[in-house]
Amino acid sequence: MGLGNANFNSVDSSSKFIAKAPEFAIIPEPVSLVQADGHFTLPEQIIIQAPADSKNIVDYLKTRLTVPTGKYISESSGNTPGSIKLILNTHENRQLGDEGYQLSVTPQHIVIKANKNAGLFYGVQTLLQLFPKEIESKEEVADKKWTVPAVEITDYPRVAWRGLMFDVARHFFTKAEVKQYIDGMVRYKFNILHLHLTDDEGWRIEIKGLPKLTEVGAWNVKKTGNFGSFSPAGPDEPRTNGGFYTQDDIRELISYAKERFVEIMPEIDVPGHSLAIIASYPELSCTPGAENYRVRSGERIMDWSRGAPPIALVDNTLCPANEKVYSFLDTVITQVAALFPFPYIHMGGDEAPINFWQKSDAVKALMQKEGLKDMHQVQGYFEKRVQQIVESTGKKFMGWDEVLNGNIPPSAAIMSWRNASYGIGASRNKHEVVMSPQDFVYLDLMQGDPIVEPKVYSSVLLSKTYQFDPVPAGADPKYILGGQGNLWTEQVYNMRHAEYMTWPRGLAVAESVWSPKAKKNWSNFIAKTEQHFKRMDIGETKYATSVFEPIFKSNRTPDGQLMVELQTEIDGLDLFYSFDNSYPDHFYPRYTEKLVVPKDAVQLRVISYKGKQPVGRMITISTDELNKRAGKK
C-alpha cells in the first residue's frame, strides 16, 4: 500500500517497515557506531568529572539524570575518578571539528571526548538516547534499572547550519514557550533557532524610540477557525491578542539558547509582510488611507489566485521611495544588531506584492530617478539599501530567495524556500545559502490526509521530509551553510500544536543535516522514530502519528460507482474499516484492495494496527468528501 498519489509525495515502494525495535535508536544517526559487550549501570553515587569551563553541560546532564532517577550526582573538575567523564582534547582531533564527539560506554564508565564544549554537549544528547526511555520522565521513576549498552561512537555533523524557524509573529508564543522549543531542538542536535519576529499579524520585539511597534503593532483581535478566512475585525472588538518580547526578554532567550549551544537569528520581514509596521506608523506606506489600517487578525488580505506575487487587498508593504522608511529601518536594525550576537540578520524580502507600488507616484518618481525598469528592480533597490544598513552594523544580510530578483550583491546570504533550484543557483553565484525548500521542510504544511489536518495549501509527508538534502546536486557545496525546517504558525494557535507540527518531521530534518548522506535509511529511521514516540510520550511532548494513518484516494468504477483506495506511507500496517457508522478494531474487515462504497453509506472509518496494537488515530471521512475527491459522475 505504498503511496502512489503525486499530490501527497510518493514514497519509495521498496521501503519496508521494520517491525522489530532497533538496538540503537539514535536520532540523528551517528557517523560510526560499534557495539561492545555488556552494559554500564548507573551507580548509586554518580560522579561527573568534567573541565571547569563545561559547567553548563554538567548542570544540564545532572538535571536530566537526577529528575527521573532520583539519584544524587556530584561533580569533580579534578582527578577524582568519575563514572561519567567529559574530556576536552588537549590535541585537536581534526575529524571531530568543533561539534563532533567520541562516546565510549563500557561496563566500568562512560567517557565523552570532544575538541570543544559543543561536542561534549552533543555527546551528552546521544548518551541520553542510550538510556531507557524513562529517562525522559519529568518525575522520579521508581524501581528502574538504569543501564546503557556498551558502545563506541564517533560522530560529527554533516553541515554547520542546522536550524529550525519558529514563527512567533502570526501567533505569539511566550518566552517560556520559546525556551521549551529550544529544549526540544537540542535533543536532536539543532544549533540555530530562526525567530520570525515580525509580520502582518504582529511585531514582537521592543525597539527603543519606536513605542507604537509594541503598543499597536503587537496586538490584534483573537479569532478562531481557519486563518485567512476570518471575518474582518470590527472597531469594537478588543485588540488584546498578542504580545512582544522586551529587550531584556531577548537577552534572556539568547543566554538560555547559548547555554545549550543554540544561536538565535532574528528576522525582520520587509518590505512585504509589514502590516503591523504600517498600522503603527502609517507614514511608512506609499498608499493614502494607510492610517485606517489595523494589524491583521487573520482576515483575507491577499489574492493568490494568479500566483506570486499576490494581489494585495491592503497595502502591507513599506514604501521603497520614502526616506523615512530607511531611517526607521536603521533604528530597528541598529538595535537588533546590538541585541543578537549571531552574525546574520534575516530581513525577509518574500512575497512582496507590487500592485500598490505600481499605482504610487512616489515609486514612479524613484524609478525615473534611479533608472529602474520594473518592480523587481524597485525591490532590488530597497534590498540593497537595507543590506547596506545591516552591513554598517557589522552583521551579514540574509533574505528569502526573492531578493535574488533584484541582482543583490553576492555578500547577501540567501535562504532558499521556493524550491531547491534557487539555492543551487545562488550558491553557483557565490552567495552563502541555507536550504529550506518548502516541498521538503515546511513544517506548517499538512503531514497526513487533509481530512485530519489543519487546512493549508499543500502537504509534506514525513517520508518527503526525510528525502531532504541540504547539499543538493548541482550546488556549489562551498557556499552551502546548511539546512533548516520552517514552522509557520498561521494555523498553529498553541504550543502543543507547535510540537505536533514539528515532530516527527523535525527528526527527519535533524538526520538530514547531521548524519552522513550514506547513513540515511528510511526503514531504519521509521523504526527509530517509533521508539522516540515512546520517549516523547513519557516526556509529555506532543507529536503527529500521521505516518501510521491512511490517505484516502477515490475515483469511480466504469459503471459510475464510488470507489476508495487507502494508501499508507509505510509498509507493515493493517487497516481495518467500517461503513456502518461503528468504530472498527482488528476484528473488522481488513483492507486488502480498493473498496466500492455501499450506495447509502454516509461515512468510512479506518484505523491502523501494527500486530494487535492500534497505531495512529481512527479517521472518519464522509462519502460526500470521497465523492468530491472522485469528481463528477
- The residues that are catalytic are 351
Rounded alpha-carbon distances, angstroms, from residue 175 to 249, 262, 337, 477, 495: 7, 15, 20, 36, 12
Q: Is 622 helix (H, G, I), strand (E, B) or coil?
A: strand
Our separate counts of H helices and E strands in the chain read 17, 27
Query: Is the four-CA dihedral 200, 205, 207, 210 of positive or negative sign?
Result: positive
Contact 273, 316 (CB under 8 A): yes
β-strand pairing of 574-578 with 202-203: unpaired
- Measure Cα distances from 194 to 266, 446, 503, 622 in Å: 6, 21, 17, 40
Q: How far is 436 from 154, CA to CA, in rounded Å?
A: 28
Secondary structure (H, E, C), 344-399: EEEEECCCCCCHHHHHCHHHHHHHHHHCCCCHHHHHHHHHHHHHHHHHHCCCEEEE
| Residue-by-residue DSSP string for 36-64 | EEEEEE--SEEEEE--GGGHHHHHHHHHH
Residue 388: strand pairing partners: none
Name the residue among 343, 509, 518 with its Cα closest to residue 435.
Answer: 509
Task: For the sheet with 84-88, list strands across it.
Answer: 32-41, 147-155, 101-105, 110-114, 84-88, 45-49, 72-76
Beta strands in 461-587 (DSSP E): 480-487, 551-556, 562-567, 574-578
3-class secondary-structure state, position 532: helix
Phi, psi (rounded to 5 degrees) for 409: -60, 155
Residue carrying C-alpha cell 527509530:
528
Q: Report the alpha-carbon distance of residue 584 to residue 579 in Å, rounded.
A: 9
Judged on CB neighbours under 10 Å (0-12, 13-18, 19+), 240 is exposed
Of 606, 225, 632, the residue nearest 451 (C-alpha): 606
